[in-house]
Amino acid sequence: MGYSGKPIVGDARTAAGDARAAAGHAGGPEISGGGNLPSLQVGPYKVTFLSGGRFRLDGGAMFGVVPKVLWNRVAPADERNRIRMRMSCLLIEGGGKRILVDAGCGTKVDAKFRDIYAIEGPEELLSDLASLKLTPDAIDTVALTHLHFDHCGGGTSRGADGAVRPTFPKARYLVRRQEWSDAHHANERNRASYLPENYDPLEASGQLQLHDDDIEIVPGVWMKNLPGQTLGHQGCFFDIPGSRALYVVDLVPTVAHLPLPFIMGYDLYPMTTLETKRAILRDATREGWLLLFEHDPDLFAIRVSGTEQKVEFQKVA
Ligand SMILES: [Zn+2]
């Protein structure tokens, strides 16, 4: 049985169409990394979107039970049925700290992997940092939302000697214990997303710090559990009264996923995703939060209003 709720699809198409037009990228070239990086101020923090690269995933898998005739209007598929996505990471600066939230897929990926997922530009994570005159040493904390390859791969790099080491030598790496455990007990359904070389070197180097609960990474900024994609899946929540913002990660991967039933087929617990999404979008629309995207191909940040059933939004970045 599939989803067939036409009114919501209408909203999604309109919303995504408006967003693409507002972003000025309807049919235009994709923005590449480097140069003027999109950034915004959230309370006392400067938040810059660093490119972890671009990739493509199967459109059917990205929209779960929603039929292609509906999702293909908002996210057109390529000849291999894949849709365009970004791996946008957050650099949070303030209070003398620099925190990276997620790291893209990284440069360890081989030619076959690059081809399957149409990976482009994973090296932009470091070139974007360099464009801000920052070296990897400048990062104090790397907070990983979860351990799927498109989120954590850039946290480690392969050296000329073939060894894989943490990309950010002075950073502590935060991982939620539930996610760490699930990654190390992968099953037939989720194994393709969990590549041990992406995270086991963090433990070997002594930089790994597991946490059991939501954790405040700098005052007012939390790694917050948003269960559904995995049980330990997290967003990054700026709990700053009057300036609340949430990096929604895989809960709402693109603006086309704002309608409640638009849930990824990749999610291990889709009914949990639905309830997480309902609760988050209720609070976010009531209070006018910013939502920051990791995977939208064109948009980085929107401000939401309306209701969780019918989200309205304005492009911010
Ligand atoms: Zn993802």
The 10s digit of each residue's pLDDT in 81-124 is 999 999 999 999 999 999 999 999 999 999 999 999 999 999 99
Evaluate whether 232 touches 213 at the Cβ level (below 8 Å): no
Give 236 Cα–ligand 1 centroid separation in angstroms.
Answer: 14
Which of 57, 58, 50, 61 shows the shortest CA–CA distance to 106? 50
Please classify residue 249 by burial: count the beta carbons closer than 10 Å to its beta carbon, then call 0-12 exposed, 13-18 middle and 19+ buried: buried
Question: Which pLDDT tens digit goes with each residue over 70-80?
Answer: 999 999 999 99
Distance 147 CA to ligand 1 centre (A): 9
CA–centroid distance, 21 to ligand 1, in Å, is 24
Contacts of 133 (CB under 8 A, 6+ apart): none
- Report how far Cα 11 is from the mean position of its chain's Cα atoms: 23
**Mean pLDDT for the chain?**
91
pLDDT of residue 149 exceeding 80: yes
User: CA-CA-CA-CA torsion for 186, 201, 128, 236, nearest 10 degrees?
Assistant: 50
Helix H, strand E, coil C: the string for 206-229 is: CCEEEECCCEEEECCEEEEECCCC
The stretch 140-148 carries a mean pLDDT of 98
**Share above pLDDT 70 across residues of the chain, in percent, rounded to a whole number:** 89
How confident is the model at residue 35, as a pLDDT?
Answer: 53
Q: State in Å: Cα 26 to ligand 1 middle.
A: 23
- Is the overall model pTM greater than 0.85, yes or no? yes
Ligand 1 centroid, distance to 275 Cα (angstroms): 19
